[in-house]
Amino acid sequence: MKKELGHFLFMLITFIIWGIICFLIIGLDKPTTEIKKLEYEPIEHQMMVCVINEPVGITENVQEVETGTICEVTYDEAQMLMKIAMAEAEEDGAEGQAMVMAVVLNRVKDNRFPNTIEEVIFQAHQFSPISDGRYFEAEPDVNSHLALAEIEKGNYEDVDALYFENAVSSWQADNCEYVGTVGHHRFYKN
């Protein structure tokens, strides 16, 4: 019995020592709540091409697109899309941010709104993060990049919303057709 107890204690001490060594080598002494920030290397030469009323997604060669009004989403415009989406729908995840981006792109294609991403985003009295300054402080997060990737894949081409809001009673609710809700925002079309 003493021999078995001695063997058990020897194995237990060995296990504990090896556990401590592994703990130190692997670096498990770091807090487990730490989240590593994903590095994002944008491809500046890639562009998204949309033919008005017929988005066609990403293409390497603009010549391949059918005739029509084309909007090219540059690196700077992609950054603007991610910033406005982050400022508007940070709490709504990638889907909510993609819906905000879709609204901006839909407005670019609609002749009732300005015809560039920058002009749509900065049009007076349209997006509250512009007037309250949240846009200028917004740092796109992982969800912003995922939302942009979904937009570039064409996964939101069928979204025809031009407006969104998170108020209980609004002009949109009284004057537009309800499209759907994502997170805290309700989306509308004319």
The Cα 92–Cα 85 span in angstroms is 10
pLDDT recorded at residue 26: 63
State pLDDT tens for residues 148-188. 999 988 888 888 999 998 866 678 888 888 888 899 898 99
DSSP 8-class letter at 180: E
Cβ atoms of 81 and 148 within 8 Å: the answer is yes
DSSP 8-class letter at 103: H
pLDDT recorded at residue 131: 93
pLDDT recorded at residue 17: 81
- For residue 15 the two structure tokens come to 């296990």
pLDDT recorded at residue 68: 34
pLDDT recorded at residue 36: 41
State pLDDT tens for residues 14-72. 778 877 775 666 654 444 444 444 444 444 434 444 433 334 444 444 443 333 333 45
- For residue 20 the two structure tokens come to 């401590």
User: Which residue, 109, 119, 117, is CA-closest to 50?
Assistant: 109
Q: How far apart are the first and last CA of the chain?
A: 85
Per-residue pLDDT for 129 more than 60?
yes
Q: Is the pTM of this model over 0.85?
A: no
The Cα 95–Cα 161 span in angstroms is 14
